[in-house]
């Protein structure tokens, strides 16, 4: 008879995400995962193959839960630069306040660790990056249509810079950077993209 699972693999992954998110793959022992999930080592191996398989599945679930919805909102927003500001504002808020403050981003942490060399992990990271950059480009295209962007703005280059900035926000927050300094950096990065105000929009002397 086939082995019957007496646990929900998705709930196990949610517990594993917390451990891997805080600690990364190399410094996480299997016993820490057994303790966090309440599932035996043999059951974890039977379901996910090994610790690396569990990590890859946890990373995929993290992306589905955290990244995909945020990128979809950004790509579909109709407010241009305001949507990009709100995206970074939400990112900074999560990274600097609340229960996961100081953890950084599980995806960015994976980019910075040796786990990024694993082919399955690399595929997840590359797909994540492509989706992030495409969402930013979509928001920038909307901004251009609304007349928010400087005419010389290259949408592809700007999206690539802003995607890299998102990783930087994640890394700096994990290193202890405060929300104000991160917000100031984002504001400075967006400033050159903005269209110059028309004479009618110029502040009165």
Question: Considering the domain boundaries, does residue 37 fall inside one?
Answer: yes
The pLDDT of residue 197 is: 65
Long-range pairs for 27-31: beta carbons < 8 A, 24 or more residues apart: 28/55
The pLDDT of residue 182 is: 98
Q: Is 135 exposed, middle or buried (0-12, 13-18, 19+ CB in 10 A)?
A: buried
Q: How far apart are CA 198 and CA 200, in angstroms?
A: 5
Question: Considering the domain boundaries, does residue 3 fall inside one?
Answer: no
Question: Considering the domain boundaries, does residue 156 fall inside one?
Answer: yes
Question: Considering the domain boundaries, does residue 15 fall inside one?
Answer: yes
The pLDDT of residue 1 is: 33
Q: Is 130 exposed, middle or buried (0-12, 13-18, 19+ CB in 10 A)?
A: exposed
58, 17 Cβ separation under 8 angstroms = yes
Question: Considering the domain boundaries, does residue 201 fall inside one?
Answer: no
**pLDDT digits (tens), the chain, 205 positions:** 334 457 899 999 999 999 999 999 999 999 999 999 999 999 999 999 999 999 999 999 999 999 999 999 999 999 999 999 999 999 999 999 999 999 999 999 999 999 999 999 999 999 999 999 999 999 999 999 999 999 999 999 999 999 999 999 999 999 999 999 999 999 999 999 998 764 444 544 5
Q: How many domains does the chain have?
A: 1
Q: What's 75's domain CATH number?
A: 1.10.357.10
Question: Considering the domain boundaries, does residue 2 fall inside one?
Answer: no
Instruction: List the domain range (segments joined by +) for residue 116.
Output: 9-193
Question: Considering the domain boundaries, does residue 204 fall inside one?
Answer: no
The pLDDT of residue 7 is: 83
Question: Considering the domain boundaries, does residue 202 fall inside one?
Answer: no
The pLDDT of residue 3 is: 47
Sign of the alpha-carbon dihedral angle for 160, 156, 133, 80: positive
């Amino acid at each position: 008879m086939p082995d019957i699972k007496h646990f929900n693999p998705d709930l196990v992954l949610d517990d594993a995400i917390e451990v891997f998110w805080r600690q990364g793959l190399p410094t996480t022992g299997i016993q820490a995962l057994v303790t966090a999930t309440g599932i035996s080592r043999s059951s974890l191996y039977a379901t996910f193959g090994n610790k690396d398989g569990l990590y890859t599945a946890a990373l995929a679930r993290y992306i589905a839960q955290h990244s995909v919805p945020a990128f979809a909102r950004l790509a579909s927003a109709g407010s241009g630069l305001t949507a990009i500001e709100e995206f970074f504002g939400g990112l900074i808020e999560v990274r600097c306040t609340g229960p996961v403050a100081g953890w950084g981003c599980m995806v960015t942490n994976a980019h910075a660790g040796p786990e990024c060399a694993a082919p399955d992990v690399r595929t997840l990271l590359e797909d994540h990056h492509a989706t992030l950059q495409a969402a930013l480009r979509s928001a920038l295209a909307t901004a251009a249509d609304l007349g928010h962007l400087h005419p010389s703005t290259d949408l592809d280059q700007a999206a690539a810079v802003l995607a890299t900035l998102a990783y930087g926000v994640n890394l700096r927050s994990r290193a202890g950077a405060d929300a104000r300094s991160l917000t100031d950096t984002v504001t400075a990065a967006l400033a050159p993209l903005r269209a110059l105000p028309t004479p009618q929009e110029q502040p009165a002397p």
